[in-house]
Amino acid sequence: APPLRSARDRDALRAALRDGVIDCIATDHAPHTDIEKDQPFDQAPPGMIGLEFAFALLFTDLVAPGHLPLTTLIQRMTAGPARIIGIPRGTLRPGSAADAAVLDLHAATEVTPARLHSKSKNTPFLGRVLSGAVTHTIVDGKLVFDHGVIVAGNAAGARA
């Protein structure tokens, strides 16, 4: 996708998120090893990582400056994608899967290679300090991520 360079483009995207024209936010998490990416641009596989810091990036750039309410961001990252792909997830209703993320909205986290669990460290966000963090992730009622540590097998068990 081309970069959104103009302020007008960014404003239109934020308005579409706010107004529900865009009803889902997801990542195209594409982890590639350093060896796979370390080649001429036209020969390297496309994509980069994005899942691990997706919430913090969006919180920093959309919620903290007042462009989007936190409740809207959470809905766009949970119920919206689940509805679109037709899975019964993304809510905390009785009978639904016990999937949840615990957030620390006051955290400040620097994106560093040591904090990345992906096989790739290919991100333009290295060195950036982000507001907000996912401190815990629960999948099917099981704690799989606890303050930066994968505690239950392969946390990619987030069905990705």
Q: Which CATH architecture has domain 7-157?
A: Alpha-Beta Barrel (3.20)
Q: Which of 9, 11, 28, 140 is catalytic?
A: 28
Element (H, E) at 103: strand 100-110
Reported as a single tens digit per residue, the pLDDT across 117-158 is 888 888 889 999 999 999 999 999 999 999 989 898 665 544
Torsion sign over Cα 152, 49, 116, 53:
negative
Reported as a single tens digit per residue, the pLDDT across 59-101 is 999 999 999 999 999 999 999 999 999 988 998 888 888 899 9
Task: Assess whether 104 carries a catalytic annotation.
Answer: no
The model's pTM = 0.87
Q: How confident is the model at residue 22 (pLDDT cuts 50, 70, 90)?
A: very high
CB count within 10 Å of CB 112 equals 12
Report domain extents, the chain. 7-157
DSSP β-bridge partners for residue 142: 139
Cα separation of the two ends of the chain = 21
Reported as a single tens digit per residue, the pLDDT across 44-62 is 888 888 889 999 999 999 9
- Looking up tokens 């290295």 gives 126
